[in-house]
Structure 1
């Protein structure tokens, strides 16, 4: 399977344990949104739809990345510098 890079990696500090998690591909973002996301809210649902649409080449990856960042802030993640 080919991984889709989405530019500069996003590093987020998880809300529960304070661990840094690096998101460098859209596949990892999708996995987290589906399996490890701490809340299920509208921002998460929107991000998941946009990530999956980008994976199917139906919309730009940048839009999915932005929706992912909005969902992350909504879920209590804190953005950090890329590592």
Structure 2
């Protein structure tokens, strides 16, 4: 399977223990939305749809990335600035 890189990696604190996860591909983000996401809300479902659409070249990867970022913030993940 070919993974689709979405540009600059996104890093979030994903646990109360301070675990940081860096997302670099649509597939990694989609896996987290499906298997590891702490909440099932509108933002998560929208991000899942956008990631799927981007994987099928139906929407820009940047739109899927933004939807994923919105879902992460809605889930309470904090952005990590690694640069």
The one-character-per-residue Cα deviations of 1:14-70 (angstroms, maximum 9, x if unpaired) are: 143320001001100000000000000000000000000000110000000000000
* CA gap 1:26/1:82 in 2 versus in 1, 3 angstroms: farther
CA distance in 2, matches of 1:57, 1:38: 28
Of structures 1 and 2, the one scoring higher in RCO (CA 8 A, sep 6+) is 1
**1:33 maps onto 2:38 in alignment:** no
Q: Does 1:73 align with 2:73?
A: yes
Provide TM-score, normalisation by structure 2.
0.95
- In structure 1, the gaps of 5 or more residues are none
2:43 alignment partner in structure 1: 43
* Deviating 4+ runs (over 6 angstroms): none
Q: Please report the RMSD computed on the Cα atoms of aligned residues, expressed in angstroms.
A: 1.1
Counterpart residue number, 1:13 = 13
Query: Runs of 5+ in structure 2 lacking a partner?
Result: none
Give, in whole Å, the separation in 1 of the partners of 2:5 and 2:82: 14
Match of 1:56 in 2: 56
